[in-house]
Amino acid sequence: STFGVWFRQDLRLNDNRALFEAIEAAKKHEGNLVAFFHIHPELTESFTIRHDYFFQTLRDLAHRAESFGMPIHFIYGELSQALSTLNEQVPNLSSVYFNKDEVGFGAERDLEAVNWFEEEGIEVRSFQDRHIHGATEVKKDDGDHYKVFTPYFKKWQKLNKPPLYSIDHEHLKQYGRDYTEQFHEGQEHFQKMLAQCEKEWKHIGEDSASRRLGVFLNQKVDEYEEKRNLPAANATSMISPYLKNGVLSPRTIYHKIEEVREKKGDSKGLHTYLSEIAWRDYYNMIYYMYPEAKSKEIDSSKRQRDWIDDDERFLKWKNGETGFPIVDAAMRQLNSIGWMHNRLRMIVASFLSKDYLLDWRKGERYFQERLIDYDAASNIGGWQWASSTGTDAAPYFRVFNPTRQSERFDADGEFIRTYVKELKNVPKKYIHEPHKMSEEEQNKYGCVIGKDYPEPTVDHKTQRKKAIAMFESD
Ligand code: FAD
């Protein structure tokens, strides 16, 4: 019999639970493995920078899998049509193994797939692999779910952690089967996706991910506590794009953290880093509990807000032309590399919803388009936190002052100058509020306000009052 291994957001050959279990089944039943990936036609229509990153990561996986003797076959079309192709082309397909999605579009797709396979008499084995603890594992003693992170994390830490699912790559060669001839149409679609990519990404794939995690845990984690809020310090692990695409398993991260802890002892940095990894599980649980959270405020008392409809403002925010240097630098970082520092995500999300008074959903969707680490649960969680509409959200009267945030977290303006080139000669004294320069100073530093760089497009104090009034009328 043949065991199908369906890759989706788990683009790796190490510590991959579905792959591990499929190999075990092939060993036990002396069967074969056939690996596949499904390309949905919708992807061709809405191709953005994050698909660009995803497909190049997939190419890396496909090369690796092929070199180990287990090529990945591409199936194309609406789900049932693509699965039919799979079933027609692969002899004796008896079971399909995959790592499931617990939330969002992926969870809906999984349900449809399970129904399809069951109707065809094909067994499905699916596994929770995307998180250290899945959406239903961390519960209060009375069985209810947590709504606040701190007690969630306390419980999270107490639970037994899953082991690593180590994979002997020799087995891929031994059990993997090559049907690439039959799947040339899918392969052509894959090549078409790659041809749409605009940017060539260098640091992708499992080796890069493992190197980056190693460097972070060996050299940087001690400073994490102190510097993780400083965008210019390059002090976070930047592993989110790998986690998003499943190039790195969260279990592997957990066990590596434990290794370092055993070797060097515990530290604040390690503890905080572990808590960040747990935030990812927490928001997955929240999205699972509130499946409508992408379109609706989790807190139902906050659904009546009169957000302003202003396309011009939204465009300024997207392009990084708000006149607030830290916001503009952050948005330009996003537009340029498809990633943004966490502190900046909080600042720009607060700015959109509380200074511009624009609907947080617009921001959430723009992040979806641009972030190479876009993760619906974490993104929705972050946006609902910033706009004070989620379970464990910032109180509505807590409105980030973008200038104070800038002074605190980019004191010398180093980050701002990296992304807002117009301000590169502006001295520290004015870098957070360049409009305060005199005409003479503007000429001296090569940045004329209103011409080279905008005036602040809103007055923060006024907007803060408006936001609080709007939120109080809920
Ligand atoms: P590190 O500080 O090195 O943390 C390590 C890992 O912990 C991260 O890779 C991530 O997986 C996890 N993590 C850290 N902080 C959070 C958090 N607040 N919530 C959930 N997980 C966290 N993260 C995403 O992965 N995808 C998103 O789409 C996303 N959207 C966000 C939107 C907003 C408005 C906000 C405020 C935060 C968002 N985050 C998102 C969380 C966080 O900003 C990123 O995970 C982090 O910046 C990634 O960089 P890093 O890997 O260097 O993080």
- Alpha carbon nearest to ligand 1 atom 31, residue: 379
According to the model, what pLDDT value does residue 351 have? 98
- Alpha carbon nearest to ligand 1 atom 11, residue: 240
- Alpha carbon nearest to ligand 1 atom 33, residue: 382
pLDDT tens across 388-415, in order?
Answer: 999 888 888 889 999 999 999 999 999 9
pLDDT tens across 279-294, in order?
Answer: 999 999 999 999 999 9
Residue 44, pLDDT > 80, answer no
- Would you tell me how many other CB atoms lie within 10 Å of the CB of residue 348? 30
153 CA to centre of ligand 1 in angstroms: 16
Instruction: Give the mean model confidence (pLDDT) for residues 30-55.
Output: 92
Alpha helices, H only, 142-267: 149-158, 170-175, 184-196, 206-215, 221-227, 240-244, 250-264
Instruction: Give the mean model confidence (pLDDT) for residues 86-105.
Output: 96
Residue 141, pLDDT > 90, answer yes
Distance CA 431, CA 445 (A): 11
Distance CA 350, CA 406 (A): 13
Residue 69, pLDDT > 80, answer yes
Residues 6+ apart with CB under 8 A from 264: none
199 CA to centre of ligand 1 in angstroms: 23
The preferred substitution site among 132, 248, 249, 342 for testing ligand 1, maximizing ligand atoms within 8 Å of CB, is 342
Which structure tokens are listed for 49?
Answer: 């920078």
Which class is 206-289 in CATH? mainly alpha
Q: Which residue has the higher pLDDT, 96 or 306?
A: 96
Distance CA 123, CA 117 (A): 7
- Alpha carbon nearest to ligand 1 atom 2, residue: 236
According to the model, what pLDDT value does residue 422 have? 98
Residues 6+ apart with CB under 8 A from 309: none
Contact criterion met (CB below 8 Å) for 419 and 348: no
Q: Among candidates 1, 26, 186, 22, which has minimal Cα distance to 93?
A: 1
Least confident of 43-47, 175-179, 196-200, 233-237: 43-47
168 CA to centre of ligand 1 in angstroms: 31
Residues annotated catalytic, as ranges: 276, 279, 307, 342, 360, 383
Q: What are the pocket residues of ligand 1 if the criterion is a CB atom closer than 6 Å to any ligand atom?
A: 228, 236-240, 243-244, 276-277, 279-280, 283, 341-342, 345-346, 349, 367, 371, 373-375, 378-379, 381-383, 386
Distance CA 327, CA 406 (A): 9
Domain ranges for the chain, please list them. Answer: 1-129, 206-289, 300-472
Residue 312, pLDDT > 90, answer yes
Q: Is 34 left (phi over 0), alpha (psi -120 to 50) or beta?
A: beta
Distance CA 365, CA 380 (A): 9
Q: Which atom of ligand 1 is the closest one to the Cα of 368?
A: 28
DSSP state of 294: T
pLDDT band at 302 (very low <50, low <70, confident <90, very high): confident
343 CA to centre of ligand 1 in angstroms: 10
Q: 219-254 burial by CB neighbour count: b if 16+ within 10 A, else e?
A: ebbeebbebbbbbbbebbbebbbbbbbbbbbbbbbb
Q: Which atom of ligand 1 is the closest one to the Cα of 282?
A: 20
Residue 474, pLDDT > 80, answer no
pLDDT band at 238 (very low <50, low <70, confident <90, very high): very high
Q: What is the share, in percent, of the chain residues with pLDDT greater than 70?
A: 100
Mark the binding-site residues for FAD, compressed into ranges: 224, 236-240, 273, 276-283, 373-375
What is the identity of the amino acid at 1? S
- The yes/no answer to whether this complex scores an ipTM above 0.95 is yes
Q: What is the share, in percent, of the chain residues with pLDDT greater than 90?
A: 94
pTM above 0.95, yes or no: yes
Residue 473, pLDDT > 90, answer no
According to the model, what pLDDT value does residue 305 have? 84
126 CA to centre of ligand 1 in angstroms: 26
- Alpha carbon nearest to ligand 1 atom 43, residue: 342
- Alpha carbon nearest to ligand 1 atom 28, residue: 374
Adjacency order of strands within the sheet including 32-39: 72-76, 32-39, 2-7, 93-99, 123-127
Distance between start and end Cα atoms, the chain: 60
Distance CA 405, CA 326 (A): 8
Fold topology of 300-472: DNA Cyclobutane Dipyrimidine Photolyase, subunit A; domain 3 (1.10.579)
According to the model, what pLDDT value does residue 472 have? 87
Residue 4, pLDDT > 90, answer yes
The preferred substitution site among 230, 373, 384, 405 for testing ligand 1, maximizing ligand atoms within 8 Å of CB, is 373
pLDDT tens across 421-434, in order?
Answer: 999 999 999 999 99
Q: 378-409 burial by CB neighbour count: b if 16+ within 10 A, else e?
A: bbbbbbbbbbbbbbbbbebeebbbbbebbbeb
Q: Among candidates 331, 324, 423, which has minimal Cα distance to 370?
A: 331
Distance CA 428, CA 430 (A): 5
8 CA to centre of ligand 1 in angstroms: 21
Instruction: Give the mean model confidence (pLDDT) for residues 49-65.
Output: 96
Residue 443, SS3 per DSSP:
helix
Q: Which atom of ligand 1 is the closest one to the Cα of 383?
A: 34
Domain 1-129 coded CATH 3.40.50.720: no
The C-alpha angle with vertex 78 and arms to 110 and 94, in degrees rounded to 5, equals 55
Q: Which atom of ligand 1 is the closest one to the Cα of 373?
A: 26
Distance CA 433, CA 407 (A): 10
